[in-house]
Amino acid sequence: MEPNPEPQEEVKTVEGPSEIPEGHSVKYYEWTDDMTQKCQDVIDEDENYHPEAGKLKKHAGMNWHIFYSNNKTNFFKNRHYLIKEFTEMKEKCDDQEIVRLLDAGCGVGNALFPLCKDLPNLHVDAFDFALKAVNLVKEHEKFEEERMKVEQCDLVRDDIPFEAGTHDFAILIFVLSAIFPEHYKDVIQKVYDQLNQGGILYFRDYGKYDMAQMRFAKKKTSKVLDNFYVRGDKTLAYYFTIEEVDELMTSVGFKKLSLDYHYKEFENRKKGLKMHRVWIQAKYIKE
């Protein structure tokens, strides 16, 4: 299935490290069959697998702990787009006295802090793999103990440390891709179980043929499994298709509300560089 391109949007300046380079312009672009073939050819040429997959799996938590120890709260920008993209949450907050959100893989609070600022009656239960990230959230000047519960939790090995069936919403943002694929269904099942009837999951993660995947494939030293790569800091990234996401979500009982590729081109005109990013964004409901 070839994904549908998004309409063009006004070009604007983007600031921030990591996913969105500082000082670049950004716009949507149209994906083509020719691009698919060229990217797949590059991926197919990478036949080398990383020799230490077992060690990467064993030390996944420690590698993220080291990541946050090195980068503190400076690496990712706050996700202010969520309140615009996840309109159901604001509508619920307008109608309900207390709304409960599960932030699965909260990192250093780049989603929970802006959401709590914009939605005063939102209460967040959050957790992360990395103890350092959890501590940074609790030490943040905007942390509110009465509205925010934050715990360390290994989403693969542990039960989620909050009462099941009590959350109106859940967010899973660039989290699933960091986990070994064999655990995906169990992870999604755990998140599903946390939602109440009618609860909605907002999902965002890397899409296949993203620029970063192409860089990994060209290096031919980073592939752990097909479409699954290790970065230089030992953290991991999987690149999904929408078919994979839909099969995974519906297998545990979710019903699709929306599921799309997001194609964005970042351009540094000064250097003459263009970067083509591919993300997947989805909403699923527990009926």
* Helix 60-71 × helix 131-139 angle, to 10°: 40
Residue 139 lies in a domain: yes
Residues 6+ apart with CB under 8 A from 5: 28, 29, 30, 31, 263
- Domain of residue 70: give its range: 48-263+278-285
Tokens of 153: 């939790």
Q: Report the pLDDT value the prediction gives residue 17, as an integer from 0 to 100.
A: 36
Q: What sign results for the dihedral spanned by CA atoms 41, 221, 246, 89?
A: negative
Residue 17 is assigned to a structural domain of this protein: no
Query: Is residue 29 in some structural domain?
Result: no
Is there a domain that residue 2 lies in? Answer: no
Q: What is the pLDDT of residue 9?
A: 34
Strands across the sheet containing 228-230: 223-225, 228-230, 236-238
What pLDDT score does 80 carry?
77
Residue with tokens 């715990």: 151
Phi, psi of 55, deg, nearest 5: -65, -40
Q: How far apart are CA 209 and CA 158, in angstroms?
A: 32
- Residue 118 CA neighbour count, 13 Å, CB half: 17
222 in a structural domain: yes
Q: What pLDDT is attached to residue 267?
A: 79
Q: Which residues of the chain have pLDDT under 50?
A: 1-19, 72, 75
For the chain, count helices (H), then strands (E).
10, 12
Q: What is the pLDDT of residue 111?
A: 94
pLDDT, residue 3, reads: 38
User: For the chain, how many structural domains are there in total?
Assistant: 1
In the chain, the N- to C-terminal Cα span, in Å, equals 26
Is residue 30 domain-resident?
no
Spatial distance between the Cα atoms of 273 and 211, rounded to a whole number of angstroms: 12
- Tell me the C-alpha distance between 103 and 84, whole Å: 17
Which domain CATH number covers 70?
3.40.50.150
Angstrom distance (rounded) from CA 149 to CA 30: 41
Contacts 24+ apart (CB under 8 A), 223-226: 223/46, 223/48, 223/49, 223/50, 224/49, 224/50, 224/53, 224/56, 225/49, 225/53, 225/180, 225/181
Element (H, E) at 89: helix 87-95
Query: DSSP assignment, residue 144?
Result: -
Query: Is residue 56 a part of any domain in this protein?
Result: yes
**170-183: pLDDT as tens digits:** 999 999 999 999 99
